Amino acid sequence: MTILVTGAAGFIGFHICKKLLNDDFNVVGIDNLNDYYDPDLKKARIKNINAFASANSLSWHFKKISLENQKQLDNIFSKFKPKIVVNLAAQAGVRYSLKNTKSYINSNLVGFSNLLESVRIFNVENFIYASSSSVYGGNKKFPFSESDNVDHPVSLYAATKKSNEILSHSYSHLYKIPCTGLRFFTVYGPWGRPDMAPMIFAKAILNEDPIDIFNYGNMQRDFTYIDDISEALVRCCFKQAYPDPNFKNDNPEPDNSWAPYRIFNIGHGSPINLMSFIEILEDALGKKAIKNFKPIEPGDVIKTSSENTKLNSWINYKPNTSLEVGIIRFAEWYKSYYL
């Protein structure tokens, strides 16, 4: 079976590709290798996958293309005929969406809709895509549940992710395409994104530069280790969404449907205070941070917390790597890669 992974040079995409290859699937990865963050890190991830596939005689192909290019996208589908598509390509970042709105529209809306068209035309059997915990916006009910209303995003990034869920539902309804959306909660680990707190803080701490701590440290995040994300996502690849026989049109749930459509949280389920996270990272790096406390930024949310019951019931799995263990693994990788 051939599986197509978009955003293959990204943090999560890299890990998913290696896990699928290790399970002996034919994997096709695509990525536009944009410069939102260091393209050299993205290229290093692809180089790592290339070496892994070559050393183990695995079926791996990588193509540099953009989802905004429908013709190139269709050519990939025509040539490789994937049966499962995992969409991890997106313009990421909440704060960056305040500066460069067009990139979010192009990638997360135009590119996503192009991908749905290719999935429809080439009869893909299962479509898995990345949503985000940011869709919960200003919600104050914790933990966040898939049955909660998510109509009040506080960033453009969140709005595009909510739009992906809506577009997927329409395709699922109209064309009977099994679609599963996964709302990721603050993913961290080796080969992580340089624009996220673990990488930003690690770099600053080791360079003895101050770290910006927003909302004066009064924030909580549901940090989720990358291996837990990979395991859950791959399990979802091999379980198609199906119509919910108990769905009630007069009292609809937002995370399921009469169509083959599902939405799930993927989070650890144990939010931690930002200051506690910094202390754990300091211990793992063996160095104290210089702290610069600042007010909250537009688009930020104060707390995220994942309810995982539905995911656990769906795939018999829930994230279980403790932050202490995950941060040690991250810190070891960071020092080996950058120092």
Residues designated catalytic: 157
Q: How far apart are CA 36 and CA 279, in angstroms?
A: 29
What distances in angstroms separate CA 209 from CA 40, 68, 73, 78, 231, one per listed residue? 23, 38, 43, 50, 35
The residue among 32, 31, 8, 37 whose CA lies nearest residue 20 is 8
The residue among 160, 19, 165 whose CA lies nearest residue 90 is 160
Q: Helix-strand-coil percent breakdown of the chain, rounded to 5?
A: 45, 20, 40
Residue 192 in contact with residue 231, Cβ under 8 Å? no
Q: Which residue has the tokens 């909250």?
A: 296
> In what side-by-side order are the strands of the sheet with 60-64?
60-64, 26-31, 2-6, 84-87, 126-132, 179-184, 261-266
**Is the backbone peptide bond immediately before 143 cis, with ω within 30 degrees of 0?**
yes
The residue among 134, 127, 130, 132 whose CA lies nearest residue 170 is 127
Is the dihedral angle over the CA atoms 247, 252, 255, 260 positive or is it negative? Answer: positive
Secondary structure, 3-state, 202-219:
HHHHHHCCEEEEEHHHCC
Which distant-in-sequence residues (6+ apart) come within 8 Å of 176 by Cβ?
Answer: 259, 260
Q: Which residue has the tokens 């704060």?
A: 95
Q: How far apart are CA 224 and CA 252, in angstroms?
A: 29
